[in-house]
Amino acid sequence: MALKEVSFSVKPGERVGIVGRTGAGKSTVLSALFRTGPLESGAIRIDGVDIGTLGLATLRNALSIIPQDALLFEGSLRSNIDPAAQRTDYELHDALRRVGLVNDTDEKENPGKGQAKFDLDREVRDDSFSAGEKQLLALCRALVRTESKILVLDEATSSVGEHTCVCHNRIVR
């Protein structure tokens, strides 16, 4: 076992970082939180509820993750950002703007569409976006999932270079 006798509490609104050497158990904590494997003992509680008593869909709707190696799926950019089809074009474009993939000029020239590369109806393929753009799109997905109580960032900007993220017409380093 990578982890033994681990116990901690997180207050609402607190940010927690889990750091450690290779093999220290960081991935094990994530696996336990998302219930990708069984716990040998103990429990994880969110708002006092043992996550082992929840259905996987219910649990995973309460969690969002921006992984180190972000994945996109076949389909439209819209379906990649909002798989449950719950948000308006304006909300999706706003998420693209908030992460710096489109800007306000794009919205004025083509309302609801964004830059051609980030048009919500664009079909996504394996080679459609760089690794950094994929991570920013995963961040968009997390931004539009308002039901998530917990956001997990697993080296979520490891592929975002200075040329990938342009916010308010300036490069973010």
pTM listed for this prediction: 0.69
Measured from the Cβ of residue 148, the count of other Cβ atoms closer than 10 Å reads: 16
pLDDT digits (tens, 9 = 90+) for 31-60: 899 999 888 888 999 888 999 999 999 998
Question: Can you give the pLDDT at residue 159?
Answer: 52
* Mean pLDDT lowest among 5-19, 41-55, 66-80, 142-156: 142-156
- Backbone φ and ψ for 123, nearest 5 degrees, come out as -75, 135
Question: Can you give the pLDDT at residue 153?
Answer: 77
**What angle in degrees, to the nearest 10, is found between the helix axes of 131-144 and 89-98?**
130
HEC readout, 5-24: CCCCCCCCCCCCCCCCCCCC
Question: Can you give the pLDDT at residue 47?
Answer: 87
Higher-confidence residue: 152 or 161? 152
* pLDDT band (50, 70, 90) for residue 115: low
Q: 99 with 143: CB under 8 angstroms?
A: yes
Phi-psi region of 137 (alpha: psi -120 to 50; beta: other; left: phi over 0): alpha
Residue 171 has pLDDT above 60, yes or no: no
Average pLDDT over residues 75-93: 93
Q: Which of 88, 80, 92 is nearest to 138 (CA)?
A: 80
